[in-house]
Amino acid sequence: MHPTRNLSAIGFALIASAILSFVDNFVVSVAEEAGLWQFQVFRTLFAIPLLLVIGRATGKSLRPVNLGRLIGRSLFVTLGLLIYFASLATLPVAQAGAGLFSAPLWVALLTVILFRQPLGMMGAFAVLLGFTGALMLLQPDLTNLTAVSLVPLAAGFFYGLGMILTRHWCAGENPVTLAIGIFATFAIVGLIMLGVVALWPGESFTSQPWTAPNLRFLWLTLIQAAGAVIAVTLIAQAYRIGTPAVVAVFEYSFLIFASIWAFLLWGTTTNALAWQGIALILISGLLMATSHRNASDESATP
C-alpha cells in the first residue's frame, strides 16, 4: 500500500478520535434525560438526514456496492459497541473501556489469521505497547476482575472484526454509505430494545424505558449526532483506504483526546501513570507508522 494512503488514513483516524471523544462528553448529560435506546433512535433520526446532505454534496452515489457485505460489516461493528454499552451497566468504565480498546490487538491477530498479512515484530510490539498504554490510562482495578470482566473483550473483537471488513469487504463503498449502515443498525436495535425495556424497565442508562423527550435531550442528542456523523464517516474512510492494523493503533488517540477534553471541559486532571500511558500510546503510533513506512520502502525497492 502506498504510504501516502496510510498517512491520510492516520489523519482521518486522529480527527475522528478528537471529535468523537469531545461529543461523547455529552452522553453523560443525555443519560440524565433519557435511556440509551431512546438516545440511539433519536441520534439516528438526526444523523441520517445529515449524512444524506453530505452524500448529496459529494455528488457520489450512496447506493451500496454490496448490500450483504455492508450489512455484515454494520452488524459486527454495532454488536461490538452494544456489548461495550451493556458492559457499562455492570462494570466500571475503565474495565469496559479496556475491553473495547483491545480492538487493535484483535485487528492485528485477525489480519494475520484471516488475510495472511504479516504484521512484523515491530508492528506486533507497537500494538502491545499501545494496549499497555491504554490500560495505564484507563487504570482498571485488576483486583476486582471477574469472569464478567472478560465480556468487554468480545466488544473489542467484534468492533475490530468490523473494522477489518471495512477494508476487505467494503473498500468500494462510499464512506457516507458505511456510516448510514452503522446508524441504521443502531436505530433498529434501539427500537427492538425499547420494546424490551418497556416490558422489563429499569433505572440504569441501558434499561430505562421511553420518556417524553424534552428540549435539552434533543439539543444534546443533535450535538452528539452531528459530531458522530463526521467521526464515523472519517473512521470508515480511514479503514477503507488504510492498513487496518495501522489505523487501529491510532484509534488509541481517542483516550488521549478524552483526557484533554475532560480537563478542558470539567477540570478533571490526569495522574502520572496516565501520562506515562499517553506516552506509550504515542510511541506505539510512531513505531507502527515507521514499521509500515519501512515495509513500503522495501517493497518499492527494485
For the stretch 26-68, pLDDT in tens is 888 888 999 999 999 999 999 999 999 999 998 889 999 999 9
Confidence (pTM): 0.86
The 10 Å CB-count burial string (b at 16+, else e) for 96-115 is bbbbbbbbbbbbbbbbeeee
pLDDT band at 89 (very low <50, low <70, confident <90, very high): low
The 10 Å CB-count burial string (b at 16+, else e) for 273-301 is ebeebbebbbebbebbbebbeebbeeeee
Centroid of chain to Cα 83: 12
For the stretch 182-212, pLDDT in tens is 999 999 999 999 999 999 998 888 889 999 9
pLDDT band at 18 (very low <50, low <70, confident <90, very high): very high
